[in-house]
Amino acid sequence: MYRYFLQPQLDASNNSLIGYELLIRQQVAGKWVLPHDFASIPIDVQADLIRRTDQKIILKVGSVSFNTNQSQFIDPTIAQAILSAQKQIYPMNLVLEVTEEVTDQHVTNQQIIDQVHYFDEHGIQLSLDDIGTGINTYDHIKPILPYASEIKFAMQNFRQEGRSTEIPDALAFWKRIADQHRLRLILEGVENQAEHDMANDLGIDYRQGWFYGKPHLLKLDGD
């Protein structure tokens, strides 16, 4: 069984809730764990979960976001399931976070851009997740930036790669990029007061992390 855990996204300038990221988990032996292979989860299962989850929180936030890799983002079958989910949760907006995950299928920037235009027509936005790590380096995503609505900087990725000391300079760089392209910048992985203060110093209002709220299970009807 799969369920989404919700993690709040805040505007720290006025301490308001702006959205949730939906983090899928699988129940195994009575415990909720990360799925072993995200790509193997049927998209119709995910789309149904999005619909059922969002109907519980509709009108509480303006948007909900969830992850796809590049291959999933351009898949026409997945796109139809996402559009169906978007129609059923209107007026909330779906934000698709395209991750840094390397996939077997080669996806060109033009394929991403074409799909952004398609989703734009239906009010679905592109977020470039995990910027600065994996394949989501500046040089790689530079052509896509004008078509995105949001970028997300995941401090936890830098920590896992042993690059914690790079965070302040890298974050300042991506803040300049966000301002240049008029993108929302969400800082992920804020865990303590020092990181909260760093975000304040850099003028980054949109944030997510355990310092503000841990992911929590939203029970659905029938659970």
Cβ 61 vs Cβ 17: under 8 Å: yes
CA angle 2, 209, 21 (to 5 degrees): 40
The residues, any chain, with a CB within 8 Å of residue 90's CB and separated by 6 or more, are 123
What local confidence, expressed as pLDDT, does residue 39 receive?
76
- Could you report the per-residue pLDDT of 29-76, keeping only the tens digit for each? 999 999 888 778 887 888 888 888 888 887 678 899 988 888 889 999
Helix axes 109-120, 76-89, angle to 10 degrees: 30
What local confidence, expressed as pLDDT, does residue 29 receive?
94
What local confidence, expressed as pLDDT, does residue 36 receive?
84
Report the pLDDT averaged over residues 118-127.
94
What local confidence, expressed as pLDDT, does residue 100 receive?
77
What local confidence, expressed as pLDDT, does residue 219 receive?
87
- Could you report the per-residue pLDDT of 138-168, keeping only the tens digit for each? 998 999 999 999 999 999 999 999 999 999 9
